[in-house]
A and B are shown apart, each in its own frame.
Chain A
Amino acid sequence: MTMEQAKRFDEAATALGRELYQQIKYCSDKLKTEASEIRLRCGSPVAITTKNGQRFINSDVVLTSRELESAFLNICGHSVYSHQDDIANGFVTVRGGHRAGFCGKAVMENGHISALRNISSINLRIAHEYIGCSDLLFDQLFSDGICSVLIAGPPCCGKTTILRDIARSFSTGRAGMLRRVTVVDERGELAAMNGSQTLNDLGDCCDVLDGWSKPLGIRHAIRCLSPHIIVCDELGSEEDSEAAMLGAVSGAYLIASAHCSDKRALEHQPLAKRIVANGVFKKLAILNPKPGSGFEIYSI
């Protein structure tokens, strides 16, 4: 597992381009294993986020705007136009499902962000795949049958990793029989598609709608893929909420995630409150802030 995590770190760091990778690749295997993010800020050294906080690499070498620009271009595969919509949303998913978030000057057009310029910082989140990490949660959630579940938690608590593992568990028959799973992978983090193949293990009964928005993906799945279970990441808009409703009434079970620190906070977010209140989900699992440090389950 340690080697696998170090390999994933290297895979993510390679996306930043050769020059930056040369700086990063010599950090210890221990640091690579513990790393959850690689952070680049203009005028600061490269920082690695671990569960114990931030660590700087080569603290005397600070990043220039040219290096950030180069890293940005590398992340975009030297084809910025092909990631324009993602960039407008502030992130790009690179090979392996690692998500790069950007900060910079927003270029506005008709009230929407059309592009980013003067990139000032990049946060590359390293995607992890822990097979079996959701086993305990899975057994507790579905001990009395499959139901729709909302998995909530603060950022970086492992929602996507858990969601991916739940999809794999259903698709490999952990729930007693093989289930047809459709993953609506809007951000490319769940399956990490490479061409037509998934880089993450999602089992043999899983169909992936890569890059589909959640509303379109859920509708398409219901129409064409007859899934037992639909899995999607980060419900966050009115359209997502409506699509979740549609998914639920069509007879498929929905397993989704949402940002939320605790159950009380969920009641104060109008959209999350609506999602919970509209009866789509039968159970709510709130993950603790530290990845792998437990969860609480509520019936809705």
Chain B
Amino acid sequence: MKAAAALLLLVASVLTGKCVLNSLNLSEKAIDELIFIVDELISAVRFSKKSVQCLFAELAHTSDFAAACIGEMKDSDNIHIAWTRAVNSEYGSRLDAQTKESLLTLGEQIGKNDCDRELLLLEGYRKRFCNRAEALRVENAEKKRLYTAASWLIGAFLAVLVI
């Protein structure tokens, strides 16, 4: 009975650790997705000249952020308002505060410039998101190691305690 309880505690602890790791992976994926979105915006400004709304409508199947924006567009005809709502929605909870802030500022500025200035703006944000993604990866690698070790150790400790 004790052995079973100990095993259960160990498994629960490891699973909790996995959940934390998953949330870290989600934040990495979210920022990668933002880089993808900015890349698509850059190519729209440079080549196809599609509006932000048209582009997001096309990307809604592949990008959660584009889907969230288009979802918010139903209530408002303004992409800036929809953008802010999307960042503040469930989608935004995947992002760290710094990235969220950058994304909100980008949403306020996007679509208001001619091609050259729009490209400068987007390339600036792309660089910012890439740097953040890099930093996040390093940060998360440390955290992942720590959480994995901690979850096993705590689980083992609790198991020993029960036995």
Contact = CB atoms under 8 A, between A and B. Distances in A.
A140 interface: no
Contact of A80 (B77, B78, B80, B111): B111
Contacts of B79: 77-79
Nearest to A88: B114
B69 to A, nearest CB: 11
Interface string B147-158: 000000000000
B53 A78 contact: yes
B78 A79 contact: no
Interface in B111-130: 111-115, 118
Sorting the interface of chain A by its residue count into under 10, 10 to 19, 20 to 34 or 35 or more gives 10 to 19
A7 interface: no
B7 interface: no
B114 A77 contact: no
Given A80-B111, A81-B114, A74 B49 contact: no
7 contacts: A78-B51, A78-B111, A79-B51, A81-B111, A81-B113, A82-B44, A82-B50
Contact of B45 (A74, A78, A81, A87): A81
Contacts of A18: 76-78
A80 B51 CA distance: 8
A261 interface: no
Contacts of A81: 45, 49, 111, 113-115, 118
B52 interface: yes
Contacts of B50: 79, 82
Contact of A84 (B76, B110, B112, B114): B114
Interface string A37-79: 0000000000000000000000000000000000001101111
Contact of B111 (A14, A79, A114, A115): A79
Interface in B34-92: 44-45, 49-54, 76-80
Nearest to B46: A81
A78 B78 contact: yes
Contacts of A114: 114
Q: Which 6 interchain pairs have the tightest Cβ spacing? A: A79-B51, A78-B111, A77-B51, A79-B111, A82-B49, A78-B79
Contact of A73 (B53, B76, B112): B112
A17 B78 contact: yes
B118 to A, nearest CB: 4
A76 B51 CA distance: 9
Contacts of A78: 51-53, 78-80, 110-112
B135 to A, nearest CB: 30
A286 B76 CA distance: 45
A65 to B, nearest CB: 14
Interface in A6-48: 14, 17-18
Contacts of A77: 51-54, 79, 111
A87 B49 CA distance: 14
Chain B CB within 10 A, most for which of A18, A77, A80, A82: A82
Contacts of A84: 49, 114-115
Contacts of A115: 114
Given A78-B51, A82-B51, 18 more contacts: A18-B76, A18-B77, A73-B111, A74-B77, A74-B78, A77-B53, A77-B54, A78-B78, A78-B79, A78-B80, A79-B50, A79-B111, A81-B113, A84-B49, A84-B115, A87-B114, A114-B114, A115-B114
Chain B CB within 10 A, most for which of A14, A79, A82: A79
A76 B50 CA distance: 11
Contacts of B52: 77-79
Chain A CB within 10 A, most for which of B45, B51, B110, B114: B114
A55 B45 CA distance: 39
Contacts of A82: 44, 49-51
A167 B83 CA distance: 42
A114 B111 CA distance: 16
Nearest to A69: B112
